[in-house]
Structure 1
């Protein structure tokens, strides 16, 4: 059986980290197709803390299902809402980070928030 080679070209530089060490770096030269999703693996502990903070800040019922893939818009949040600001402040306090307003506005899901947090923690400890 012949091996298939898949090549990805994207629009901006990207790096993949494993326990703080860069394993692979590539340059993005064109848009990622909608059917292709790139996701960083984050610690389950980080995702769980983000879930806890989101549920607490929004006063959600314990039985309300919120997962890593939950979009903030599904929870009724809009980018400039007070709830969003309070969630970001809670995340900054919990993880000891500072999140730039532009980056905070880009967060769409709980998973994305966890990925950004781990990226900021890595930058802080580097």
Structure 2
């Protein structure tokens, strides 16, 4: 009598354990987002480059904004020393997201030269 009751009880417990399934991770698939890809932009216009370079120079602490022009030479007209000129070139690099090699940076002595250099770069933003 005890044996059939024990077997019956064990069978019920075993069947419940077999019926239990561990939770499975849910896989969710994100819907497809369709985008159109167009050709690259035409680049920066010369007037945009000029205004951004002049704004950099006008915002520089050691430069008097009234003296800033495209033809202004960094050291002769604006009174910048070589370290200040390097800082201006670095600010131009940051503004346009480009890296100017040292050889080219040494040749940039005026705003017009900076504008000319940036306008030739296709990767300037």
- Counterpart mapping for 1:1-126 below 5 A: 43-62=46-65, 64-73=66-75, 74-78=77-81, 80-81=82-83, 83-120=84-121, 122=122, 124=123
> Could you tell me the TM-score, scaled by structure 1's length?
0.55
Q: How far 1:85 moved relative to its partner?
A: 2.0
In structure 2, the gaps of 5 or more residues are 1-41
Larger radius of gyration: 2
What RMSD, in angstroms, separates the aligned Cα atoms of the two structures? 2.1
Detail structure 1 runs of 4+ shifted over 4 Å in the superposition.
none
In structure 1, the gaps of 5 or more residues are 1-18, 21-41
Q: Name the one with the larger helix percent.
A: 2
* Change in CA separation of 1:98 and 1:49 when aligned onto 2, cut-off 3 Å: same
Task: State the secondary structure of the residue aligned to 1:118.
Answer: helix
